Amino acid sequence: MTRLPIDPKSTICVWDYWHLPQWIKDFLEKEQITTGDVDWFAIRPAVYKDDYILWLEMPAFGCCNVEEYPLNKEGDVLVVGYHG
């Protein structure tokens, strides 16, 4: 199997809760971000800060609500899509 050369500075990663990396779960707990009624989680790298990404908005990414949480000073953002 060939490994894809992925650049983390320009890759949007998406997970459901059960497949989230532990460091994101720790961030959610530390920041007291609710995970009830979540559809998806994504990391949007800073390179896309000025881009409108339709599928990361309502109703595609979260049918009822989409919240964004800054992750670092570089401008990476955790995007959380909720269905309730």
pLDDT tens readout for residues 8-24 = 889 999 999 999 999 99
| pLDDT-based confidence at residue 3 (cuts at 50, 70, 90) | confident
Rg over CA atoms, the chain: 13
pLDDT tens readout for residues 36-72 = 899 999 999 999 999 999 999 999 998 899 999 999 9
Q: How far from 37 is each of 30, 57, 70, 80, CA to CA, in Å?
A: 19, 16, 21, 10
Could you state, in order of their start, the residue ranges of all structural domains in the chain?
Answer: 13-68
End-to-end CA distance of the chain: 39
For range 25-41, the mean pLDDT: 94
